[in-house]
Structure 1
Amino acid sequence: MNVLLIYPVFPKTFWSYDKILELVDRQVLLPPLGLITVAAILPQNWNFTLVDRNIRAATEAEWESADLVIFSAMIVQKMDLIAQIKEAKKRQKLVAVGGPYPTSVPEEVVQAGADFLILDEGEITLPLFVDALQKGETSGIFRASEKPDITITPIPRYDLLELDAYDSMSVQFSRGCPFQCEFCDIITLYGRKPRTKTPAQLLTELDLLYELGWRRGIFLVDDNFIGNKRNVKLLLKDLQVWQAQHQYPFRFNTEASIDLAADSELMDLMVKCNFDAVFLGIETPDEASLKLTKKYQNTRSSLSDSIDKIMRVGLRPMAGFIIGFDGEKKGAGERIVEFVEQAAIPTAMFGMLQALPNTALWNRLETENRLLLDSKQDINQTSLMNFLPTRPIEEIAQEYITAFWTLYEPERYLDRVYRCFLKLAPSPCKAPFKTPELADLKALAIVIWRQGFKRRTRWKFWHHLFGIFKHNPGVWEHYLTLCAHNEHFLEYRQAVREQIEAQLAEFIALKTAQLDQPENTEPDFSQPETALSSLP
């Protein structure tokens, strides 16, 4: 069977990094790990072609030869997913769909024309799908009532990727998270009992990537890498040996909960394995909001002190922040900016709270009749909230726009990066010298020209760079990489402002129109334009 695997387009998001990728001659930040894992689980006598639409579109020859088209997508990709399902059906192709978004909202892909829905985790549902095909069935929905043992998961088909197009590689060690944050869909999709691969299993995946010639960064895509600390430490002890034997070909980053800071052994192991950054879900410095959303792990110790510990051991903190929690007091945006500045977090992903399907937040808001159901919404940092908050949405949106704009003011950003890297411990891992690629040298020259000569950042750029060379020279290369990120945020903050302001104007217009309706009209909360009259 000839199988065409298609990964839909991501809209521009905080993590798109388009401007930075252009500088280093890459097209996409990360590959579709889910689809290449699907390809590894399916029969290996099938012929697979992978098309990542963030790199290129499928050719006519690829469409023509396909007996089966398989899609996987997250909620942010849903617009292109729906369009591509319709395109495949127009070509009379058999279509199978899976991944986080169809698992959460299966009815939308059914309406688009998908024949097979392979939902939940593929280790269980993909074999059911294959059995159905072998029986001659042409449609079906396959679900799992349990979570699979991922020690049986085969090595993803990394050979299907156009490796040169990606800036970093994706590898997974665990699924699930032990916490209970109300807004998070990870525990809905993968459960609260973290399941891990074996250390040998993951090292075998790294062996394959090494053999394929990969020598750049690897993102461990686990939603909470340290959810099962015992198994993670076992992995890191073996990974430390593997990295040393191979002369540190990879640098790693990942996502973790803030309680990482309380485990010095774990942080030390990560740094010795050449981890250089970690994404932390901070969400808000407001303790009342953290308790309301059941993110209790963030209330057990000082967030600032925890970040400082992580930084000083050698892990650059990235952090996520959210505005719009119920009961939130005015000025939340300013408090987030103040916290980010005080903690010297260079990269602060910031967005308005979104209710994700089937989460505890979604279910609560649905019960309270507060959801604004808008099929056009793709849910990212340029999306207005999809529910009615407890304070005016105009107030929240304006605070968000102002805070995002302030966080990524170019000079302020450079100051924050500088303060972080003055504290950041240099990596103890010493890789052999590697001649820089031409694209990297060209990127460096462009960054120096733009930030060191062309723009008003010139004084700070040179002052801070010389300061790094003087006070912490072991981090200068990592530091310049973060300076380059300014190119992305300079443009993206403009996109956030323009798109949120446009949506806010539309929102206010709909609200005004609704207020002009006769008072005896019963509101229909299934549509946003009729829910607006209940806006505080």
Structure 2
Amino acid sequence: MKILLLYPQYPDSFWSFKHALKFISKKAAVPPLGLITVSALLPQSWQKKLIDMNVTLLKDEYILWADYVFISAMYIQKESVNKVINKCENLNTPMVAGGPLFTQEYKNYPQIDYFVLNEAEITLPIFMTDLSAGKAKRVYKTDMYANLDMTPIPDYHLLDMKKYAFMNVQISRGCPFSCDFCEITTLLGHKVRMKSPNQFIEELNALYKLNWRGSVSIVDDNFIGNKKEIKSAYLPKLKQWMRSHKYPFVFNIQSSINLADDKEMLALMAETGFTSTFIGIETPDEVSLNHCNKVQNENRDLLKSVQEIQKAGLQVSGGFIVGFDSDTPSIFQRQIDFIQKSGIVSAMVGLLNAPKNTLLYQRLCAENRLTKESTGNNTDSSMNFIPKMDYDELMLGYKKIIHSIYASKPYYQRVRQLFLNYKHSYNKQKEINFSLFGAFLKSVYVIGIVNKGRMEYWKLLVWTLVKRPKLFIEAITFAVYGYHFRIVYGL
């Protein structure tokens, strides 16, 4: 068999980092981990080609070469998905689809020949058996969750690694929490299922042998979903591996805010090479946190929790939401104040949306308030339901937040606040920093000379050299991020 593994294109968005990646001559932030894992589940004797449309142009010859095109996608890739489907149809190449978008919306894609849904460790072998027997069904889905002991090492060798800023790995699936706007538990369940520490180490070995050095994203929706196991089994083994391999990687994660409660674990993570975490903070308003069942954020000083993580040596990026039913007009300034005081430089502020199959979606459907499907893009100023707050007031307040945190002056002020909070870990992981001289020169020209916020850029660099000289590379990095955010938000 000849299989084309096809990953559709992302639109320009907050997390695409499209405009920032140009400074380091990269095409995409992370590769399609799901597809290269699916590839590893296919027979090794089959021929496989990966086309990630975020880094490579899709040519007709690739589709014509294939016996089947395997497509995986998320909601945000819908526009590109439609183009891919039309192209495959026109070239008469059968399609096999899976991933989050199709698992929830397969009925909306009658053009696709086969759907292998939910977790491929379960459904893909059944499809393969039926296909080889000439009796393949159209839809394969399951209510069961995969045992991750059965998950193979992804086919990282299919990637053109030099085109990516990060590699990505996965330790666990599932989340113990039940935020009403989140679809993770619908897709992956509440029970946190984990690979063994040895499995994870073997994946790192695979990346190491392929000469990857640098940033690795652990893409678990909550890295500390099973905090006891991570602390006792994973981190000690990972720390040992990192030391023996002379710290080839730095790790970033997603976690819940209760990471701040365990200083011993934070210290261990910093020593091991963890440098940043994304946390869904959502809102400083206790009533809204209660209404959306964000129990892990309730009854705590969120600002202090963020600062505890920063002081331990991990930078914090965060997700924030406005548009909860209990939000009042005061929420906009409260969000601005919190973000600025926190030193959360990459603050993704979005309007509340209700993805399919979430508790929020079900409630809004019962209240007849849904208007359309969610786009999956947290920062495109769209909503898929009628909010309680006046819509125009909500839009104005949202735009006020964006301008107030991403205009040059407040943005660079927030970078300085982070540097004041942040205790950088200066161990051997610093050795992995490749030369950023070219990126620095580009930033000087594009941000420091051409860009309208150039004075704030120079003020940050001078302040950093005087007050926090060891954070100069971070200052350049955040200046480039800010440039990307201002373009995305049209500032």
Q: Give the TM-score range, shorter chain.
A: over 0.9
Residue of structure 1 in register with 2:229 after alignment: 231
Contact 1:8 1:81 in 2 (8 A): yes
User: 1:56, 1:349 → 2: CA distance?
Assistant: 27
Aligned to 1:6: 6
In the TM superposition, residue 83 of structure 1 has moved relative to its aligned partner by 2.5
Residue in 2 that maps onto 1:18: 18
Indicate the residue corresponding to 1:523 in structure 2. none
Which of 148, 159, 162 is residue 161 of structure 1 equivalent to? 159
* SS across alignment from 1:88: helix
Correspondence for 2:464 among 459, 465, 468: 468
Letter in structure 1 aligned against 2:287: A
Residue 34 of structure 1, CA deviation: 0.4
DSSP 3-state at the match of 1:120? coil
Contact 1:256 1:278 in 2 (8 A): yes
**Contact persistence 1:271–1:428 (CA under 8 A):** no
Amino acid across the alignment from 1:487: Y
> In the alignment, what sits opposite 2:282?
283
What secondary structure does 1:154 align onto? Answer: coil
Shift of 1:30: 0.8
Check 1:131–1:12 CA distance in 2 against 1; reply closer, same or farther (3 A cut). same
Deviation at 1:66, TM superposition (A): 0.6
- The residue type paired with residue 216 of structure 2 is I
Residue 78 of structure 1 contacts residue 378 of structure 1 at CA under 8 Å; is this kept in 2?
Answer: no
Q: Which shifted more, 90-99 or 138-147? A: 138-147
The alpha-carbon distance between structure 1 residues 374 and 227, as it changes in their structure 2 partners (threshold 3 A), is closer
* Equivalent position of 1:508 in the other structure: none
Does residue 490 of structure 1 match 2:486?
Answer: yes
Mapping of residues 205-354 of structure 1, within 5 Å: 205-233=203-231, 234-354=233-353
Question: How many angstroms apart in 2 are the aligned matches of 1:289 and 1:452?
Answer: 40
Identify the residue that residue 65 of structure 1 maps to in structure 2: 65
Q: Which whole-Å CA distance do the structure 1 matches of 2:433 and 2:288 have between them?
A: 49
Q: Which residue of 2 aligns with 1:525?
A: none
1:56 matched to 2:56? The reply is yes
1:333 touches 1:399 (CA, 8 Å); kept in 2? yes
For residues 101-250 of structure 1, what are the structure 2 equivalents within 5 Å?
101-109=101-109, 111=110, 113-233=111-231, 234-250=233-249
Q: For 1:57 and 1:106, how far apart are their aligned partners in 2?
A: 26
Provide TM-score, normalisation by structure 1: 0.88
Q: Secondary structure at the match of 2:229?
A: helix
How far apart, CA to CA, are the structure 1 residues paired with 2:94 and 2:329? 52
Which amino acid in structure 2 is aligned with residue 85 of structure 1? I
1:378 positional shift? 5.1
* 1:295 aligned partner, one-letter code: K
CA contact (8 A) 1:215 1:249 kept: yes
CA contact 1:422–1:468 (8 Å) conserved in 2: no
- 2:372 corresponding residue in structure 1: 373
Measured against aligned partners, the alpha-carbon deviations of 1:224-267 in whole angstroms (never above 9, x if no partner) come to: 00001122121111111111111111111010000000011221
In the other structure, the counterpart of 1:385 is: 383
Verify the 8 A CA contact 1:115 1:139 in the aligned structure 2.
no
Structure 2 residues not aligned, in runs of 5+: none
Determine which structure has more spread, i.e. the larger CA radius of gyration.
1
The DSSP-based 3-state class of the residue aligned with 2:15 is coil
The SS at the match of 2:309 is: helix
Q: Which residue of the other structure, out of 399, 402, 406, is the alignment partner of 2:400? A: 402
Distance 2:349 2:486 in 1: 15
SS in 1 for 2:379: coil
Q: Match of 2:423?
A: 425
Residue among 425, 437, 443 paired with 1:441: 437
Pair 1:92–1:452, CA change in 2 (3 A): closer
Instruction: Give SS of 2:477's match.
Output: helix
Aligned-residue offset at 1:470: 3.8
- CA distance in 2 between counterparts of 1:148 and 1:185 reads 18
Partner of 1:15, secondary structure, is: helix
Aligned Cα root-mean-square deviation (Å): 1.8
8 A contact 1:248–1:431 mirrored in 2: yes
Aligned residues: 490
Equivalent position of 2:74 in the other structure = 74
Deviation per CA, 1:253-289, whole angstroms, max 9, x where unpaired? 0100000000112211211111111101000111100
Cα deviation for residue 464 of structure 1 reads: 3.4
Distance 2:433 2:334 in 1: 44
Q: Secondary structure at the match of 1:3?
A: strand
Shift in Å, 1:181:
0.2
